[in-house]
Amino acid sequence: MRRYLKLLKILVRVSFIRALMFRAAFYMDIAYSFIWLGLFFIIIQILFSHTEEIAGWSRANLIVLLGVWSFLDDLGAGTFWDGIKRLPDLVADGAMDFILARPVDSQFLIAAERFRFSRVLVILADVGLIAYGLTIGEMAPWHTIILRFPVLVVSGYIIALSVVYLLHTLGFWFLRINNVWALYDGLEGIAKYPLDVFGRHIKLLSLTIVPLTVMFMFPAQALLGRITTLEVLYAPVVAAIFFAVARWFYQYSVRRYSSVA
Amino acid sequence: MRKYWTIITTMWARALIHRFTIVAYRTGELFEIVFLLILWTALFKGRDTISGYTIQEMITYVLVGNLVSIVTRNFLTDFMTKEIKDGALSIFVVKPITYLRYVLVRELGRVSLPFLISLVSQIGIMLIFARQLVIHTSFVHFALFIVMVAFAFLIEFFISFLIGATAFWTDETDGLSQTIYRLKRFLSGGYFTLSLLPALYIQISLALPFAYSFYVPTQLYLQKLTLWQGLKGIGIQIIWIALLYLCIKLVWRRGTRRYEGVGI
């Protein structure tokens, strides 16, 4: 464990040096992230200029949901997203050889190799957005937020990591799938709106096979005081299952890998 | 003509290798479209119109607008960036075709397979919502709609070319192209109809080229625009095509001066 923490520290430092080398790209990335966030914020304002609520969610509630969604999205993009995105190319080009030959867990190495500091910085803006939404609307008591929110955010993060890994591991099975992120992007994108607008069947799907509700809505609901204890306990279970499946699928797929270099 | 045909067929062969990518990309898009339809259905509960739109018109707006967006899109920026960064642009010095013409033909070939897959799936969704679709039969409106969509393809192509050309100056264009894509979608009315915005914003959007890839053709289809307004829209598109072409000439001349042919 200590070895991996030391390795993580080195990888973070290397990513930081890389970010300093391409400073223009670093600042531009921050600017783009703010533009995206602003754009979604404007969309919410426009939608709510024509309605009071969407599926029981007020404007303030939706701002909190957008903040949580963006927080988890930036956290994922800032930490593991860029690394895992390379997996299909590593497999197709035979560069996986160099990863597998190293005396560390290859799955860890792929995910942790590229941190994007610009996105981590945008998290501060996401926190500001969440705080704004809570100030103008309802909010759960502090003690329940402290107990529940971290559990749900960590669960959401682990599920996102696992789903992204599951999708990109398909690179071992199909040739050239470097745009598979678009599938996750499309799915994740709809979770910035309340999934309560869907019927019962799709809602059930979003709690189990495609757990968007667990990933994004549960943490927002915890801040708003709209979550039950059972739901709080359910999230880590889903996260553990997805993590185990992603881990198993990766190891199973690696056995199939034959170098093409 | 044969050389263009060769480029197109090569792109078809390449597209078949990337079929999983195409399906994944399209599936992601479908989620967004279906979600927008459900969201609008929820917003229309208990009311007949929003900003002059009935629910049928809004569903038609989303479906027809996305169909236009499928027809007019391209994937040029990513490939152009890579060619500039990797030095692959150098081979065009010896090819008997200009780069702009080559990439235009190449994109026509590249987008054709994704276009077919997207078209089939989009028509599938439209059939599901067939009862709520507004269908007009005015031939003149439809002819103008087709012309507008063809010009929109050219405008989108030129914009992608210009974004791709920024690779002459910066190593990273991914963030810029993603941001412009989202801004374009916002200003074109892809997230919601521009009619929801104040009049001033609509006027600004109509003066920019983006609205002609979603909002204006769909308005024309819904016959919320007169033929004269449609012709005026096509006039604005022609002006933008000329302006963008001039920009491309200028940027290309300056960019190729900076180009170092890295990797050769």
Q: pLDDT tens across B103-127, in order?
A: 888 888 877 777 888 888 888 888 8
Per-residue pLDDT of chain A (261 residues; tens, 9 = 90+): 888 899 999 998 988 888 888 777 788 788 888 888 888 888 888 888 888 888 888 999 999 999 999 999 999 988 888 899 889 888 988 889 989 999 999 999 999 888 888 887 789 899 999 999 999 988 889 989 999 999 999 999 999 999 999 999 998 888 777 677 778 888 888 888 888 888 788 888 889 998 999 999 999 999 999 999 999 999 999 999 999 999 999 999 999 888 765
Chain A CB contacts of B182 below 8 Å: 35-36, 39
Residue A14 has φ and ψ, to the nearest 5°, of: -60, -45
- C-alpha A86: how far from chain center: 17
Q: How many CB atoms lie within 10 A of CB A32?
A: 22
Say yes or no: B96 contacts chain A, CB-CB below 8 A.
no
Tokens linked to B114: 């994704």
Q: Where are the domains of chain A?
A: 2-254
Phi-psi region of A115 (alpha: psi -120 to 50; beta: other; left: phi over 0): beta
Cβ separation B18–A176 shorter than 8 A = yes
Q: What span, in angstroms and rounded, lies between the C-alpha atoms of B58 and B123?
A: 17
Cβ separation B179–A32 shorter than 8 A = yes
Cβ separation A180–B191 shorter than 8 A = no
- C-beta separation of A192 from A70 below 8 A: yes
Chain A CB contacts of B121 below 8 Å: none
CA distance B19 to chain A (A): 8
Q: What span, in angstroms and rounded, lies between the C-alpha atoms of A61 and B32?
A: 21
Tokens linked to A208: 């189990």
pTM score: 0.84
Tokens linked to A211: 């757990």
Cβ separation A28–B43 shorter than 8 A = no
Cβ separation B32–A184 shorter than 8 A = no
Q: How many CB atoms lie within 10 A of CB B25?
A: 22
Pick the closest to residue B172 from A74, A14, A26, A33 (CA basis): A26
Q: Which residue of A has its CA nearest to B20?
A: A177
Nearest residue, CB atoms, A193 vs list B29, B39, B41? B39
Cβ separation A180–B24 shorter than 8 A = yes
CA distance A199 to chain B (A): 9
Tokens linked to A225: 């005081």
Q: Residue by residue, what is the 3-state secondary structure of chain B? A: CHHHHHHHHHHHHHHHHCHHHHHHHHHHHHHHHHHHHHHHHHHCCCCCEECCEEHHHHHHHHHHHHHHHHHHCCCHHHHHHHHHHHCHHHHHHCCCCCHHHHHHHHHHHHHHHHHHHHHHHHHHHHHHCHHHCCCCCCHHHHHHHHHHHHHHHHHHHHHHHHHHHHHHCCCCCHHHHHHHHHHHHHHHCCCCCHHHCCHHHHHHHHHCCHHHHCHHHHHHHCCCCCHHHHHHHHHHHHHHHHHHHHHHHHHHHHHHHHCCCCCC
Nearest residue, CB atoms, B21 vs list A39, A55, A178? A178
What's the pLDDT score for residue A261? 56
Cβ separation A197–B39 shorter than 8 A = yes
Say yes or no: B82 contacts chain A, CB-CB below 8 A.
no
Say yes or no: B181 contacts chain A, CB-CB below 8 A.
no
Cβ separation B50–A189 shorter than 8 A = no
Cα radius of gyration rounded to whole Å, chain A: 19
Residue A135 has φ and ψ, to the nearest 5°, of: -70, -40
- Contacting residues for B6 by C-beta, under 8 A, at least 6 apart: none
Chain B CB contacts of A182 below 8 Å: 21, 24-25, 28-29
Q: pLDDT tens across B16-37, in order?
A: 776 777 777 778 778 888 888 8
What's the pLDDT score for residue A72? 94
Report ipTM for this prediction.
0.75
Q: Residue by residue, what is the 3-state secondary structure of A2-49? A: HHHHHHHHHHHHHHHHHHHHCHHHHHHHHHHHHHHHHHHHHHHHHHHC
Q: What span, in angstroms and rounded, lies between the C-alpha atoms of B7 and B15?
A: 12
Q: Where are the domains of chain B?
A: 2-258
- Contacting residues for B221 by C-beta, under 8 A, at least 6 apart: B60, B64, B136, B141, B142, B145
B53: β partners? B50
Spell out, as residue ranges, where chain B has pLDDT lower than 50: none
Interface probe with B: pick from A50, A85, A188, most Cβ of B within 10 Å: A50
Nearest residue, CB atoms, B176 vs list A28, A36, A190? A28
Q: What span, in angstroms and rounded, lies between the C-alpha atoms of A90 and A178?
A: 10
